[in-house]
């Protein structure tokens, strides 16, 4: 009898298959798209287009210590060292087209959604013009109001319809609305299971080891519309549910001493060293803003709802939402501290971080630290500074813990 595969096995297999399928599709002359991480992939999935995600690939290149080659190449092309390092890695890759740690097929179509930043507009515009291929731009206006305004919804809804027309023209195939409904349903279910699984970290100790979330995130980006992805999260959920029931924490060989949140993208090139410092102090990163980022939920066939859901990504919402969001995470996950990654690549996240930190601390009393780093540029990180900051956080958390002990 075949033993049931673990979610980690399923995850690794699915990721390998995802890249293999895309390369095979390209070799067979099928159309391949490059897309941004939180784009309405439902449209591409419905059209059966193989999609790869440059952000995922850049993160993988970073984690496998390969980023600098591509970054330096892009800088040689004239890209400033101040712009997003995912973009630099990807623009470099678009020329070099070879990475020993895993390749992606070159695109025939670019699909870009501005709900994560305006940087992707410039980055993808450059890809389209450099590679001389069509670009479908999905513009999601920044929500400086708490809710998504109705005229924005109307604008985004019209862009869904426009994207469908363009996809039909580019592929020469009709858009299948029945299949679309099915993909919407699967995508919503996948997001629901992603959220359910990551929400299990509310247990103390948390059955979720936070750094694992960075790994599982790869498939919520690239396979949201596929049932295989849903199954990974279901399995992951069941595994963690069982762990929680048994009172098992995140670490095999130690206690979960502190529960923290990590704000921002990981430092992919320094993943293991940043993890080890946390591990040394028994710190578990139980959550981040990511569980909610891919909790993209709406009713099947409700295109206004779909537009609203995609536009509601926290990066595309105002400061009050950001503060409320993090404050709620502190409460829901019983957080004892917050680590803010001042990520040189991501100005949209950075330039609100100081105020979020102040206001969340005011509201919750939870201590926090900020450290300087970068998502893929290995040069922008100092192990010494990181360790010192984490140590300071530990001291503050310990102090607070001590003061909260009540004697009966």
Partner 1 sequence: MSKLNNLIDEFVEAALSPSEAIEKSKQITGKEIVGCFPVYTPEEIIYAAGFLPVGMWGGKTEIRYADKYLQSFCCSIMRSNIEYGIKGVYKSLKATIIPAFCDTLKCIIENWKVAIPDIPVIPVVYPQNRTDTFGYAYLVAEFTRFKSEMEKLSGKTISESELAAAFDIYENYRSLMRSFVEIVKDYPVTINARKRHLIIKSGYFMDKKHYSELMKELIDALKAMPKEKHSGPRVVGTGLIFEPIELTDIFVENQISLVEDDFAQESRQFRAVARTEGTAMDKMAYRVVDLRGCTFLYEEQKSKGDMLVEMVKRNKADAVFVSMMKFCDPEEFDYPIIKKKLDDAGIPILYIETEMHMDSYEQIRTRIQSFSEMLM
Residues binding partner 1 (CB under 8 A): 74, 77-80, 82-84, 87, 91, 114, 117-119, 121-123, 125-126, 128-130, 134-135, 137-139, 141-142, 144, 149, 151-152, 154-155, 158-159, 162, 318-319, 342, 344, 347-348, 350-352, 354-355
Report the nearest approach of partner 1 to the CB of residue 151 (Å).
4
Phi, psi of 313 (to 5 degrees): -55, 140
How much helix, strand and coil, in percent to the nearest 5, is found in the chain? 55, 10, 35
Q: Looking at beta carbons only, is 199 or 374 nearer to partner 1? A: 374
Report the nearest approach of partner 1 to the CB of residue 126 (Å).
6
Q: Looking at beta carbons only, is 123 or 214 nearer to partner 1? A: 123
3 state DSSP class of 310: helix
Report the nearest approach of partner 1 to the CB of residue 3 (Å).
47
Q: Looking at beta carbons only, is 167 or 240 nearer to partner 1? A: 167
- Other CB atoms within a 10 A radius of the CB of residue 317 amount to 21
End-to-end CA distance of the chain: 55
Is residue 245 classed exposed, middle or buried when 0-12, 13-18 and 19+ CB atoms within 10 A define those classes? exposed
Report the nearest approach of partner 1 to the CB of residue 174 (Å).
21
Helix or strand holding residue 106 (H, E) = none
3 state DSSP class of 403: helix
Q: Looking at beta carbons only, is 120 or 183 nearer to partner 1? A: 120
Q: Looking at beta carbons only, is 70 or 275 nearer to partner 1? A: 70
Q: How many CA atoms lie within 13 A of 368 on its CB side?
A: 28
Supply the DSSP string of 216-266, one letter for each residue.
Answer: HHHHHHH-TTSHHHHHHHHHHHHHHHHHHHTT--S-TTS---EEEEEES--
Nearby residues of 199 by Cβ (< 8 Å), 6 or more positions away: 291
Report the nearest approach of partner 1 to the CB of residue 80 (Å).
4
Q: Looking at beta carbons only, is 165 or 332 nearer to partner 1? A: 165
Q: Looking at beta carbons only, is 11 or 135 nearer to partner 1? A: 135
Q: Looking at beta carbons only, is 94 or 335 nearer to partner 1? A: 94
Q: Looking at beta carbons only, is 197 or 356 nearer to partner 1? A: 356
In terms of Cα–Cα distance, which of 177, 252, 155 is closest to 212? 252
Report the nearest approach of partner 1 to the CB of residue 302 (Å).
19
Report the nearest approach of partner 1 to the CB of residue 282 (Å).
30
Helix or strand holding residue 48 (H, E) = none
Q: Note whether 344 and 197 are within 8 A (CB).
A: no
Report the nearest approach of partner 1 to the CB of residue 70 (Å).
14
Q: Whole-angstrom Cα distance, residue 405 to residue 316?
A: 40
Q: Note whether 89 and 101 are within 8 A (CB).
A: no
Report the nearest approach of partner 1 to the CB of residue 341 (Å).
12
Q: What is the C-alpha radius of gyration for the chain, rounded to an integer number of angstroms?
A: 21
Q: CA torsion sign, 373 to 375 to 380 to 385? A: positive
């Amino acid at each position: 009898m075949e033993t049931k595969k673990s979610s980690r096995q399923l995850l690794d297999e699915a990721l390998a298959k995802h890249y293999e399928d895309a390369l095979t599709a390209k070799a067979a002359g099928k159309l391949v798209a490059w897309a941004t991480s939180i784009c309405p992939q439902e449209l591409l999935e419905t059209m059966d287009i193989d999609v790869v995600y440059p952000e995922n690939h850049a993160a993988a290149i970073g984690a496998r210590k390969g980023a600098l080659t591509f970054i330096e190449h892009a800088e040689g092309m004239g890209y400033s060292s101040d712009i997003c390092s995912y973009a630099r890695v990807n623009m470099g890759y678009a020329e070099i087209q070879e990475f020993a740690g895993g390749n992606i097929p070159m695109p025939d179509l670019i699909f870009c959604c501005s709900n994560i930043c305006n940087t992707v507009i410039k980055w993808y515009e450059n890809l389209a013009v450099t590679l001389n291929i069509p670009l479908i731009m999905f513009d999601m206006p920044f929500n400086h109001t708490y809710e998504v305004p109705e005229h924005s919804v109307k604008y985004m809804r019209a862009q869904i319809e426009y994207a469908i027309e363009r996809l039909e023209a580019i592929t020469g195939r009709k858009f299948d609305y029945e299949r679309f409904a099915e993909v919407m349903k699967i995508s919503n279910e996948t997001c629901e299971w992603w959220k359910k699984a990551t929400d299990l970290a509310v247990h103390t100790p948390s059955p979720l080891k936070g750094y694992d979330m960075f790994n599982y995130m790869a498939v919520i980006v690239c396979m949201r519309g596929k049932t295989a992805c849903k199954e990974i999260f279901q399995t992951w959920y069941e595994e963690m549910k069982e762990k929680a029931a048994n009172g098992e924490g995140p670490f095999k060989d130690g206690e979960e001493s502190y529960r923290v949140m990590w704000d921002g993208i990981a430092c992919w090139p320094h993943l293991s060293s940043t993890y080890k410092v946390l591990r040394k102090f028994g710190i578990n990163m139980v959550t981040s803003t990511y569980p909610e980022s891919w909790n993209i939920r709406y009713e099947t066939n409700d295109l206004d709802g779909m537009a609203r859901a995609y536009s509601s990504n926290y990066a595309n919402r105002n400061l009050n939402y950001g503060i409320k969001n993090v404050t709620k995470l502190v409460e829901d996950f019983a957080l004892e501290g917050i680590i803010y990654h001042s990520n040189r690549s991501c100005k949209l996240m950075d330039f609100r971080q100081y105020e979020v930190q102040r206001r969340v601390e005011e509201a919750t009393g939870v201590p926090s630290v900020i450290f300087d780093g970068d998502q893929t540029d290995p040069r922008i990180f100092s192990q010494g500074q990181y360790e010192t900051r984490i140590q300071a956080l530990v001291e503050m958390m310990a102090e607070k813990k001590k003061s909260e002990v009540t004697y009966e």
